[in-house]
Structure 1
């Protein structure tokens, strides 16, 4: 496989110092101009009054409404909010960047278990539902004005309140694009996932996986969907597409090469599935993504 091409990859250096728990930027603006980027710090980003803005996190691309709240807990996951069709003149963006080390001593404690689960899920980037935003709006709104100890206490409170919505929070980037290993609570599902991760370039048969865990095909299909939320074919397709989008972004391989490298055995079928899932062709995805990655 061709090595990733990291040209035009922006690595943001944030203002967060070693002596700070987190950094907050509260901006009132008319537009988004910062390009695609990533950074070592985790990020909670709140956007208000910006309908029509396009939010890109990994290989996820969505148009946001009046409120948007996203948590990214992966230093290698590119993201950007771009103006797109937004005409608002009164946008507010509150960005909170923090390093996991400031809660590392607490994250394994029982009282922080829900925050731990939320941060694990946020490795792919997660978008919170409107109920979570309304529940925590006053905390987000007032946090930029707070200083010292009480700012830390309120930030931890914010993380905890959001963690109560982890199940409802929607995962954004695919795991294969974000380079995240998926770990299931079920040993049987984990065994199958590990096999798929290693052999996604090859033909994978339902019968083969069912035999691997000692189940009938029908029972395994139901069991797998119950545990993962996806049927087997969709799971494999999404994993292959994640690898494909990563290669479209990071390599100079042509689209046919990427198609076969990621386990699709028919170029026209690859293009059709890609467009259905991503609302654009592989070429459009590559071109649009690279336009947003500019050297600073």
Structure 2
């Protein structure tokens, strides 16, 4: 059973972007994903729940979130009692900004922001307050001016201080993370392909032609995580996806993802998610639709 739907957005190949601006009393769109980038400004929705990838949080009265391609997301009414929720949504093709263009020095901040958006980005409230009037007004602009304004807004967002990545590093496994290291990429590719099997440090060290000690230091320096933390986060990413997309028991998912001790799995999950696997799964209830 899969509770996540793929949204077919109204964008055509002749469009640069589309924008929706609406005032409503509740959130009623299901958990979904799409190939386009999406920027969401939510106003007057204190107490609503936001789900982006495997991140679940209750929101304040103002927030601005960038969701990358193919990352599942939804906003739920939850504890929100407002009758005047304002929502501005901008969607654009993932190839609107050509790869060669993004490699130019002047677009380096936007490129980095797009790379991080595959996990979802929450911008600080001060940034949301700064760009909110521009986002609310952009649909009043015409043609090329509106495209320039979107690019200007994205540049301002990309230089924002204290933006926060939402979803865990491995949840959106269809995305390739770039650590600028062939050895790290090779190690992560191996762990993602074999997460359900026993994996030892010596296996990866041999794979990338390094000693165990050298590789242990190398992966820590490049990723900020130890080997075992990196492996467990990959396993956790697969586990959270299984909790959402399947009806397998928590024990089955634990063992299928390489956690051979369910108690350890539950402890690690609680530490990373601030909830149990059962509570995490229940947080996605109410988002199901029948198509």
Interval of TM-score (by shorter of Structure 1 and Structure 2): 0.7 to 0.9
Q: How does 1:271-290 map to 2 (within 5 A)?
A: 271-290=266-285
Residue 214 (structure 1) aligned to one of 204, 210, 214 = 210
1:292 aligns with 2:284: no
Q: For the residues of structure 1 that align with 2:4 and 2:186, how far apart are their CA atoms?
A: 34
Stretches of structure 1 that go unaligned for 5 or more consecutive residues are none
Give the stretch that moved more between structures: 39-48 or 227-236: 227-236
Task: Tell me which residue corresponds to 1:127.
Answer: 122
| SS of corresponding position for 2:259 | coil
| Partner deviation per Cα, 1:15-48 (whole Å, 9 max, x = no partner) | 3333321111112223212221222322101112
1:14 aligns with 2:2: no
Q: For the residues of structure 2 that align with 1:100 and 1:288, how far apart are their CA atoms?
A: 29
Q: How does 1:141-156 map to 2 (within 5 A)?
A: 141-156=136-151
Residue 89 (structure 1) aligned to one of 83, 86, 104 = 83
CA contact (8 A) 1:14 1:39 kept: yes
Counting matched residue pairs gives: 288
| SS of corresponding position for 2:109 | helix
1:182 aligns with 2:174: no
Q: CA deviation at 1:136?
A: 2.6
RMSD: 2.6
| SS of corresponding position for 1:56 | strand
Q: CA deviation at 1:292?
A: 0.9
Q: For the residues of structure 2 that align with 1:107 and 1:188, how far apart are their CA atoms?
A: 25
Q: For the residues of structure 2 that align with 1:256 and 1:86, how far apart are their CA atoms?
A: 34
Give the stretch that moved more between structures: 125-134 or 153-162: 125-134
CA contact (8 A) 1:58 1:173 kept: yes
Task: Tell me which residue corresponds to 1:258.
Answer: 253
CA contact (8 A) 1:74 1:124 kept: no
CA contact (8 A) 1:249 1:290 kept: no
* 1:131/1:232 CA distance change after superposition, 3 Å: farther
CA contact (8 A) 1:9 1:295 kept: no
CA contact (8 A) 1:129 1:169 kept: yes
Task: Tell me which residue corresponds to 1:169.
Answer: 163
Q: For the residues of structure 2 that align with 1:9 and 1:100, how far apart are their CA atoms?
A: 20
TM superposition score normalised by structure 1:
0.85
Stretches of structure 2 that go unaligned for 5 or more consecutive residues are none
* 1:141/1:225 CA distance change after superposition, 3 Å: farther
CA contact (8 A) 2:41 2:132 kept: no
Q: For the residues of structure 1 that align with 2:209 and 2:57, how far apart are their CA atoms?
A: 37
Give the stretch that moved more between structures: 170-179 or 88-97: 170-179
* 1:64/1:232 CA distance change after superposition, 3 Å: farther
| SS of corresponding position for 2:45 | coil
Q: CA deviation at 1:182?
A: 2.2
Residue 96 (structure 2) aligned to one of 97, 102, 106 = 102
CA contact (8 A) 1:37 1:293 kept: no
Q: For the residues of structure 1 that align with 2:224 and 2:76, how far apart are their CA atoms?
A: 31
| Partner deviation per Cα, 1:152-207 (whole Å, 9 max, x = no partner) | 11001111111223x74322223432122222123443343333323322334446
